[in-house]
Amino acid sequence: MYEIRDPIHGFIKISEWEKDILDHSSFQRLRRIRQLAWTDMVYPGATHTRFEHSMGVMHVASEMYKSILSRKKEYLIDKLGFNDAGFDHDLTLLRLTSLVHDIGHPPFSHAGEGLMPKNPETNKPYKHEDYSAAIVKYVLKDKIENHRENENYHITAQNIIDLLKGNPQLGRRLLWHNIINGQIDADRSDYLLRDSYHIGVSYGNYDLKRLIISLTVTEFPETGTSVIAVEEGGLHAAESLIIARYMMFTQVYYHHTRRSYDYHITEAMKQILSEETGRECFPEPTSKENIEQYLKWDDWRVLGLLSQGKGGEHGEALRTRCHHRSVYHTREVPLESEIEESKKILEKLGNLAEFVDDAKRSWYSFDGEDIMIARDNKPHKGVPLSTLSSVVKCLSPVRQRRIYVSLSNKHEAKQAIEKYRREA
């Protein structure tokens, strides 16, 4: 057993098996991928990486699992058919899966996901989770299946892929996918605290310890499907998580300057990929050869090419900090009249407008993914948090819209907007 000191969680313990995966070149690559892309252009401390976040997620996932087991062991055995022998197996599987859940991130994290090709089966772009699964399948399979510590568990690469993606083949173990990807998963539980710490803000702080000791298992009232939930006594801890996520989205993740840098790095990488590989996107996660080529891309490689003058006008904007500026924005929850106004202003700006940024994806959904609360009087029938919390109920998804122009055209664009408003 090894220990690694972490600024968020203290000492994180890792096994020999986990250390061997952590030491693999595909995982060490995460040291060279920043968690928040170019956010350090706004918050200089935001230089932390996917490497430390991945270890943090494994730690939090373990604590969540242990807490649930301490409270609901009897329910898991009697209701879902778990057994004592399987609990240690599932914890090991969960730790390995949470450790590699982000191993497929492209350069500059989510900013690079805009360069992932379309999956012909879904007609939607691949996501980093697809690349994580492919790395497990094509690169890490031997480290997983043939490790000496696996003699007692017989965990396969496919087991990890199934848990990572939430595949139904998991059977009752599908419950643990909630810890990997859900409204109270270990991923966001770690990144909110970690991002806040490195950025130097308090927006993402919440009571993680109270949340963990409040975790339980309940059922969706309509289907009877088991789901990880929060005990009624931890309702305010769940609220604090939602509020932290909301504040981090509005103040950090959707910061107007940060979003401009996301746009520039995506466009610059598109040109760099075209020049280096002959195509404007990363290779599909469908073969070992493709994945080996994909793993050669990280922040360092892109930064090196940018320093050589690559990336076109967007590369130049990154090098000189002459990023596009937001000249118009709606409120976070815009009125219909604001949406209409934004369309008319966009029309008036014409070629001056470089891009439009929409916060279309909700930071929290009240439908389908609501945090479930296990009431004290009916612990096995979950109730959505939004029906119990006046705070969460009154929060609306962010739908802000912004229009950006080049720095050189900022003054002209502002004048055009003022003229439109005088004449409207």
| Average pLDDT estimate for 130-158 | 96
Domain assignment present for residue 78? The answer is yes
Are 344 and 203 members of one domain?
Answer: no
Are 351 and 370 members of one domain?
Answer: no
Please say if the pLDDT value at position 418 is more than 90.
Answer: yes
Report the b/e string of 140-155 with b at 16+ CB within 10 A.
Answer: bbebbeebeebeebeb
**What was the pLDDT predicted at 132?**
98
Per-residue pLDDT tens over the stretch 298-308 = 999 999 999 99
Are 191 and 61 members of one domain?
Answer: yes
Domain assignment present for residue 205? The answer is yes
Domain assignment present for residue 204? The answer is yes
Are 344 and 381 members of one domain?
Answer: no
Are 224 and 333 members of one domain?
Answer: no
Are 78 and 31 members of one domain?
Answer: yes
Per-residue pLDDT tens over the stretch 223-239 = 878 899 999 999 999 99
Are 21 and 153 members of one domain?
Answer: yes
Domain assignment present for residue 155? The answer is yes
Three-state DSSP state, 106? coil
Domain count, the chain: 2
| Average pLDDT estimate for 194-223 | 94
- The CA radius of gyration of the chain, in Å to the nearest whole number, is 23
What CATH number should be reported for the domain holding residue 31?
1.10.3210.10
Tokens matching residue 99: 């450790």
Please say if the pLDDT value at position 376 is more than 90.
Answer: no
Domain assignment present for residue 58? The answer is yes
**What was the pLDDT predicted at 224?**
79
Domain assignment present for residue 319? The answer is no
Are 166 and 77 members of one domain?
Answer: yes
SS3 content of the chain, % helix, strand, coil (to 5): 60, 10, 30
Per-residue pLDDT tens over the stretch 12-39 = 999 999 999 999 999 999 999 999 999 9
Report the b/e string of 370-406 with b at 16+ CB within 10 A.
Answer: bbbbbbeeebbebbbbbebbeebeebebbbbbbbbbb
State the residue range of the domain holding 347: 327-358+401-423
Domain assignment present for residue 278? The answer is no
Residues 140 and 159: their CA atoms lie apart, in Å, by 13
pTM tops 0.85, yes or no: yes
Please say if the pLDDT value at position 363 is more than 60.
Answer: no
**What was the pLDDT predicted at 369?**
55
Domain assignment present for residue 234? The answer is yes
